[in-house]
Amino acid sequence: MSMLTNFAIGQYVPAESYVHRLDPRSKLLFVILFAFAVFMANNPVTYGILTIFVLSGVAAARISYGYMVKGLKPVWFLLLFTVVLHLLTTKGGEVYFETGWFSIHEEGVRQAIYMTLRIGLLVLISSLLTLTTSPIDLTDGLERLLAPAKKIGVPVHEVALMLSIALRFIPTLMEETDKIIKAQTARGADFESGNMVRRAKAMLPIVIPLFVSAFRRAEELALAMEARGYRGGEGRTRLRQLKFTWRDPALAVILLVIMGLVGWLRA
Amino acid sequence: MQISLENVTYVYGEGTPFEKEAISNLSLTIPQGAYVGIIGQTGSGKSTLIQHLNGLLKPTSGTLRMGDLEINRKTKQTREWRRRVGLVFQYPEHQLFEESVIKDVMYGPLNFDMPADMALLRAREALNIVGLPYDEFKDRSPFQLSGGQMRRVAIAGVLAMQPQVLVLDEPTAGLDPAGRKAILEAIYGIHQEQKLTTILVTHSMEEVARYADMLVVMAGGQIVMQGKPEDVFIQAERLRSLALDVPETVSLIHKLNQRLPMDQQIPLTLYREEELERHLLAMLTSGKGVRR
Ligand SMILES: Nc1ncnc2c1ncn2[C@@H]1O[C@H](COP(=O)(O)OP(=O)(O)OP(=O)(O)O)[C@@H](O)[C@H]1O
Ligand SMILES: [Mg+2]
């Protein structure tokens, strides 16, 4: 059950803030371009600038740092792995520590720190996006950004719709899973003990009801959409219009400044 | 088994922006053999409360006790607790998964290490109790039954575990009147027969009036009233302010009492339909008719 509560992390947290009220299109573009900046960074100053920026972004979005750090949980293993790999294999510069075949070099430590920062920054900036943008805004933004691809036959509307339905139902399915796990636990199910085969079999009482309910929901949703006259994206107007405000050019300026600084100060 | 709760608080999503205190500082004692009705508006914390009763949720703070067992925030092992307390969830039909009804009902007993022949026997009894004749239903797929039949299979699945305490979360939601009555009567039957401590969560005052000998009224994560049904029903105004109502029988008694002379007032303890009926008949036939 605690396993499931972790999935709440990364979910939209409604609030009023500069970051929340940015247009989703700007935020999406920003994250992509910011990722370039992260890959450009290669010395303490540039990494420092990016880190400070991300930290102030989190503050501007009124999200607690503790909560953001929890968001790093799913990637901690990746981070650890990167650190160990660099410490062990990257050679060069001063030798800090040596026993037999094993040695830690200056370059290894540097790369370990940089890679950690790089992954951490990318995860943080993208969770900042999903934490401050509702799934509907996110897919709307994506659909609008990708609209030109319709001309070459990409089913942008359909893909966006699928995405938004999927996003919409993730929390529902999580709740459902939680409920079914509890119900079977109440009937004495044991998911922890036994060998692999036994454990896999123990999952059946969860997986089967979950599939049954997912299919039921899918059918109901399809029926409800048809009943209300849904016929695909052709000629469909929008209830909610995305609008750029003063916030968006401001973000563009911020981005330019960051990219400029990183480009100028990198080694 | 007597169960007692001391200052139990539960917070969902502790340490996230979605933090929500669902029940706060509840203290409650459920006596051995009682039939307790829990009522309260939607979102008042009923389901959260009863998930504590068999260790599915552990209190954020506070303690639960049953016999020699105890659950608090740090408790690891809750299996023994679960064996003693059977919990039927809201919409339990969504938890069915086996290929046949009998296998599904036997799932719980087998999980608690009951020998297979014993489990079969219990499953058979349980199916009969909930009104699904064993021979007719045992080999059918649970997914081909009607919603009400599925519900009964799920309830049988918990009964077959032979718990000492039975907890039901709105077992009649979405059923037709006859189906409701059948299920509740079956449960009441085993409650009386086996002195099974029973806890029923419901939105229906009629249901609690009929079966419960103790009522717990919840609002906003707290217990706002508890006691004998008549002691709760007398506070009709308070109940209404909590968006609840008194049973039909109670409002009938109130209405009649306004017209009846002081020496013929009907006591509120007669809130059960049959008892009220008997009392009124006695009044009518003894010649002391209602004056206009
Ligand atoms: N898994 C959960 N995560 C977060 N909050 C929850 C969760 N389950 C319930 N809550 C919240 O806790 C409060 C109490 O919910 P609970 O399900 O106990 O109410 P209830 O009295 O059973 O309502 P109902 O009559 O609708 O079943 C509600 O405000 C609900 O939103
Ligand atoms: Mg409930």
Residue holding tokens 């303690």?
B63
For chain A, give every domain's residue range.
1-133+242-267, 157-236
B54 lines ligand 1 (CB under 6 A): no
Query: Are residues B95 and A184, on separate chains, in Cβ contact within 8 Å?
Result: yes
Is there a contact between B201 and B190 (Cβ–Cβ < 8 Å)? no
d(CA B192, CA B34): 10
Q: SS3 of B107, please?
A: helix
Decide: B51 in ligand 1 pocket, CB within 6 A.
no
List, as one string, the DSSP characters of A163-180: HHHHHHHHHHHHHHHHHH
Tokens of A178: 């939680």
pLDDT at A3: 42
pLDDT at B53: 93
**Six token digits for residue B14:** 């502790």
Q: Is residue B205 part of a domain?
A: yes
pTM for the model: 0.80
Q: Which residues of B touch A5 (CB under 8 A)?
A: 13, 16
Least confident interval from A100-109, B205-214, B266-275: A100-109
- Mark the residues whose beta carbon lies below 5 A from ion ligand 2: B 47
Average pLDDT over residues A118-137: 90
Average pLDDT over residues A74-103: 84
Banded pLDDT at A56 (limits 50, 70, 90): very high
Looking at this predicted complex, what is its ipTM?
0.87
User: Do B107 and B184 belong together in one domain?
Assistant: yes
Burial tier of A190 (Cβ tally within 10 Å: 0-12, 13-18, 19+): middle
Q: Is residue B242 part of a domain?
A: no
Residue B95 and residue A5: Cβ atoms within 8 Å?
A: no
Q: Whose CA is nearest to atom 24 of ligand 1?
A: B42
Rounded to the nearest 5°, which phi and psi values hold at A110? Answer: -60, -50
Nearest CA in chain B to A13: B17
Report the pLDDT averaged over residues B282-289: 77
* Contact: A186, B143; criterion CB under 8 Å: no
> Same domain for B11 and B64?
yes
Residues of A within 8 A of B157 (CB-CB) are 187
Of the ligands numbered here, which is closest to the C-alpha atom of B40?
Answer: 1
CB contact under 8 A, A182 and B79: no
pLDDT digits (tens, 9 = 90+) for A214-231: 999 999 999 999 999 888
Amino acid at B279: H
In the A/B pair of chains, how many CB contacts fall below 8 A?
70
CA distance A41 to A46: 5
Q: What percent of chain A has pLDDT over 70?
A: 96
- Interchain contact A205–B (C-beta under 8 A): yes
Inter-chain residue contact B17 with A67, CB threshold 8 Å: yes
Q: Which residues pair with B166 in a beta bridge?
A: B86, B198
Distance from Cα A38 to the centre of ligand 2, integer Å: 47
B229 and B251 co-located in one domain: no
Burial status of residue B72 (CB atoms within 10 A of its CB: 0-12, 13-18, 19 or more): middle
Cβ atoms of B39 and B206 closer than 8 Å = no
Residue B288 has pLDDT above 60, yes or no: no
Residue B133 has pLDDT above 80, yes or no: yes
- The answer, for A189 touching chain B at a CB cutoff of 8 Å, is yes
The mean pLDDT of B163-177, rounded to a whole number, is 92
Measured between alpha carbons, how far is B53 from B36 in angstroms, rounded to an integer? Answer: 13
Residue B241 lies in a domain: no
How many domains, chain B?
2
Is residue B179 located within the same domain as residue B55?
Answer: yes
B134 touches chain A (CB under 8 A): no
> Which pLDDT band holds residue A29 (cuts at 50, 70, 90)?
very high
Cα four-point dihedral sign B174, B175, B177, B181: negative
Closest protein CA for atom 5 of ligand 1: B12
Q: Which domain holds residue B280?
A: 247-292
Q: What's the token pair of residue B114?
A: 């009951």
CA distance A74 to chain B (A): 16
pLDDT of residue B117: 95
Q: Are B232 and B246 in contact (CB under 8 A)?
A: no
Q: Exposed (0-12), middle (13-18) or buried (19+): which is A33, by Cβ within 10 Å?
A: middle
Identify the domain boundary among B195, B213, B236: B236
For B136, residues 6+ apart whose C-beta sits below 8 A from its C-beta are none
Ligand 1 pocket residue status of B202, Cβ below 6 Å: no
Task: Work out the number of other CB atoms within 10 angstroms of the CB of residue B91.
Answer: 19
CA-wise closest residue to A18 among A62, A51, A53, A49 = A62
pLDDT category of residue A105 using cuts at 50, 70 and 90: confident
Mean pLDDT of B2-18: 90
Q: How confident is the model at residue A1 (pLDDT cuts 50, 70, 90)?
A: very low
Atom of ligand 1 nearest to the CA of B48: 18
Q: B111 touching A, CB under 8 A?
A: yes
Cα–ligand 2 centroid distance for A218 (angstroms):
24
* pLDDT over 50 at A155, yes or no: yes
Asked whether residue B285 falls in the same domain as residue B198, the answer is no
Q: Residue B90 above 50 pLDDT?
A: yes
Q: What is the pLDDT of residue A94?
A: 81
The minimum CA-CA distance between B85 and chain A, rounded to whole Å, is 9
Same domain, B252 and B165: no
* Region B26-36 average pLDDT: 95
Q: Is the CB of B59 under 6 A from ligand 1?
A: no
Ligand index nearest the alpha carbon of residue B203: 1
Chain B contact set for A70 (CB, 8 A): 15-16
Average pLDDT, chain B: 92
B263 and B227 fall within a common domain: no
Q: Identify whether residues B121 and B26 lie together within a single domain.
A: yes
**Measured between alpha carbons, how far is residue A73 from residues A120, A129, A204 in Å?**
11, 17, 28
At residue B290 the predicted structure's pLDDT band, cuts being 50, 70 and 90, is low
Q: Report, as an integer, the average pLDDT of B156-174.
A: 94
The tokens describing B222, both together, are 């707290």
Nearest to B92 by CA among B38, B148, B42, B40: B148
Say which ligand is closest to the CA of B43: 1
CA distance B3 to B266: 35
Separation CA B71–CA B80 (nearest Å): 11
B265 and B217 co-located in one domain = no
**Residue A230 has what DSSP assignment?**
-
Based on the fold, state whether residues B207 and B81 are members of the same structural domain.
Answer: yes
| B210 and B269 both lie in a single domain | no
CA distances to A46, A228, B17 from A65, in Å:
22, 43, 12
pLDDT over 50 at A30, yes or no: yes
- Residues B273, B162 within the same domain: no
Does residue B14 lie within any of the structural domains?
yes
